[in-house]
């Protein structure tokens, strides 16, 4: 936190502006934001001076304030109450005054007015820390873990259950319900908007086929690499699986590709939104998007409405965003309240492998971006590592969708007409983290039971995993559920999946960010091949 203050008057105005430029430059404020701040200060100072009776005897105090990376100006002056922001929508005949009003109107959301103790105070937002929300989420994550660990160590079981039932569960349920209430319509309108912005049906076929090719090729590479990791990891100690009894676990249900294909078509247009079935929402959006693209000029008014609702739900997500750190705090606290240190130690190797999947996946994705997209892997890693905090905290690729769309446009410079289509559409076929986890754990357990790991087994596993990827359910413990089917196929005692149901809530934490990163990587590569990446935005430093 830092404040810098000086007086400004008509006579010393040039010196004050020079002082302002020098200090903002020291704070590493971009030149365009410094220029904008100077214009807003000039117009605000002039309007306040005119309201006070003239500029000759008018003076005010400038304060440069820095709070948590956000930088703002405060212009304080004594006198009668006057809000320079009021009246910016007025229509005037003077061209110069119209220019002034247009400037103030364009930046009105960055300005605020308050009167305290006979002083008019105008606050001008100069620079906002781009990663502020991520910083708050990180703080909430660590604080939640700390509070959860302390609660686990010092509170009895009854007290923990009381806290969870009456405080933590309701908060999580309310926030997640609000978020999921918005995600389904956001995906629906985003995909349709993506379709409507494409020039013709050929674009849809091209984008869809290229997205599938990119995603599945990248997935095949991931499966091969993590097969190698599974072979290198070896087996588990015998005593780590000796206590798993037959019949100890009942799988939550089986998911087959046929069931997924049948279930993707909704019975009516309301049920997908009522049940939050995002695959059905995606199907409907693609279906109506294709119809809209074929309608041509007849659907101009509908396209305008779609764009309105797309922006509307993005704005709604922005309203919800400030409460996300609370959700992260509660989720991490609840998780740590249930973790037994002994459990972590018993299956330390499985936890270590699960954690190792994240850096390997990030480096592998960066290598793919370098080789196939000819983009800087360093820039890619810097931005992706910062962004991955959000999916890690939310633990839901669907809930992360609005943030993913925003990230693609603002950090990677991907054209909206592509990202609005590619990010939602690629969400199901880019489960890189989940697939890597299933592959590695399957090979480790097969080795543990002294079953052969030969080329025949690896080839069969490769084909099976590529098919499973297309129908991997977006539900809690999905990886452990799918392992039940995979273990049965490859000869591993199915009851040993009980181990993974026990450790999966913790071991699977890195998987969601890997899945989201994989989806964004496919979108980035597709956009690069279609020349829809703004290289200046991509190369811009955080």
Q: pLDDT by residue (tens digit) across 152-202?
A: 888 888 998 899 889 988 987 887 677 667 767 876 887 677 666 555 555
What is the signed CA dihedral for 532, 534, 538, 542, rounded to 10 degrees? -130
> Is residue 496 within a helix (H) or strand (E), and if so which, with residue range?
none
List, as one string, the DSSP characters of 216-228: HHHHHHHHHHHHH
CATH fold of 2-127 reads Heat Shock Protein 90 (3.30.565)
| Domain 132-234+268-339+349-539 top-level CATH class | mainly alpha
Mark 343-367 as b/e (b = at least 16 C-beta within 10 Å): eeebbeebbebbebbbebbbebbbe
Q: pLDDT by residue (tens digit) across 103-162?
A: 566 666 678 888 888 888 888 888 876 556 667 777 887 888 889 889 988 888 899 889
In angstroms, the CA 82 to CA 75 distance is 12
Find the mean pLDDT for residues 497-526.
81
pLDDT score at 166: 92
pLDDT band at 78 (very low <50, low <70, confident <90, very high): confident
Residue ranges of the chain assigned to CATH 1.10.3860.10:
132-234+268-339+349-539
Average pLDDT, the chain: 77
CB 480, CB 450: distance < 8 Å: no
> Is residue 213 within a helix (H) or strand (E), and if so which, with residue range?
helix 201-233
Find the mean pLDDT for residues 289-301.
77
Residue 352 pLDDT greater than 70, yes or no: yes
What predicted TM-score, i.e. pTM, was given to this entire model?
A: 0.59
In angstroms, the CA 371 to CA 380 distance is 13
Residue ranges of the chain assigned to CATH 3.30.565.10:
2-127
In angstroms, the CA 188 to CA 256 distance is 25
């Amino acid at each position: 936190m830092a404040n810098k203050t000086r007086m400004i008057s008509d006579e010393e105005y040039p010196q004050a502006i020079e002082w302002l430029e020098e200090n903002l430059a020291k704070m590493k404020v971009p030149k365009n934001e410094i220029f904008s701040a100077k214009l807003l200060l000039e117009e605000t100072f002039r309007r306040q001076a005119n309201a006070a009776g003239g500029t000759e005897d008018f003076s005010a105090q400038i304060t440069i304030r820095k709070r948590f990376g956000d930088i703002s100006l405060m212009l304080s002056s004594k006198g009668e109450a006057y809000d320079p922001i009021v009246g910016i929508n007025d229509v005037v005949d003077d061209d110069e005054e119209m220019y002034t009003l247009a400037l103030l109107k364009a930046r009105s959301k960055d300005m605020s007015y308050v009167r305290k103790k006979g002083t008019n105070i105008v606050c001008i937002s100069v620079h906002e820390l781009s990663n502020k929300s991520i910083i708050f989420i990180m703080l909430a994550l660590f604080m939640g873990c700390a509070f959860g660990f302390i609660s686990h160590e010092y509170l009895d079981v009854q007290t923990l259950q009381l806290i969870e039932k009456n405080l933590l569960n309701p908060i999580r349920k309310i926030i997640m319900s609000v978020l999921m209430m918005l995600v389904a319509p956001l995906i629906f309108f985003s995909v349709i908007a993506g379709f409507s912005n494409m020039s013709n049906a050929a674009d849809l076929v091209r984008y869809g086929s290229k997205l599938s090719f990119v995603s599945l090729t990248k997935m095949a590479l991931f499966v091969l690499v993590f097969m190698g990791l599974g072979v290198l990891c070896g087996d588990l100690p015998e005593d780590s699986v000796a206590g798993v009894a037959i019949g100890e676990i009942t799988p939550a249900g089986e998911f087959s590709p046929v069931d997924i294909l049948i279930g993707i078509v909704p019975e009516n247009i309301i049920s997908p939104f009522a049940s939050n079935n995002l695959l059905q929402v995606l199907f409907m959006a693609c279906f109506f998007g294709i119809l809209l693209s074929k309608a041509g000029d007849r659907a101009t008014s509908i396209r305008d409405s779609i764009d309105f609702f797309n922006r509307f739900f993005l704005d709604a997500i922005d309203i919800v965003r400030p409460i996300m750190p609370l959700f992260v705090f509660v989720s991490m606290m609840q998780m740590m309240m249930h973790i037994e240190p002994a459990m972590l130690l018993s299956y330390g190797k499985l936890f270590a492998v699960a954690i190792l999947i994240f850096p390997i996946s990030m480096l592998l994705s960066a290598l793919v971006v370098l080789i196939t997209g000819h983009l800087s892997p360093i820039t890619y890693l810097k931005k992706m590592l910062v962004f991955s905090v959000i999916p890690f905290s939310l633990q839901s690729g669907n809930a992360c969708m609005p943030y993913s769309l925003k990230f693609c446009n603002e950090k990677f410079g991907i054209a909206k007409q592509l990202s609005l289509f590619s990010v939602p559409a690629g969400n199901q076929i880019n489960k890189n983290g989940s697939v890597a986890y299933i592959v590695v754990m399957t090979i480790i357990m097969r080795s543990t039971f002294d079953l052969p790991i030969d080329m025949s087994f690896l080839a069969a596993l490769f084909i099976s995993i590529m098919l499973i990827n297309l129908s991997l359910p977006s539900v809690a413990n999905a990886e452990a559920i799918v392992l039940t089917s995979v273990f049965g196929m490859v000869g591993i005692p199915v009851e040993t999946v009980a181990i993974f149901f026990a450790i999966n809530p913790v071991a699977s934490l890195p998987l969601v960010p890997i899945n989201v990163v994989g989806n964004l990587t496919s979108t980035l590569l597709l956009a690069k091949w279609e020349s829809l990446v703004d290289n200046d935005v991509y190369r811009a430093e955080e």
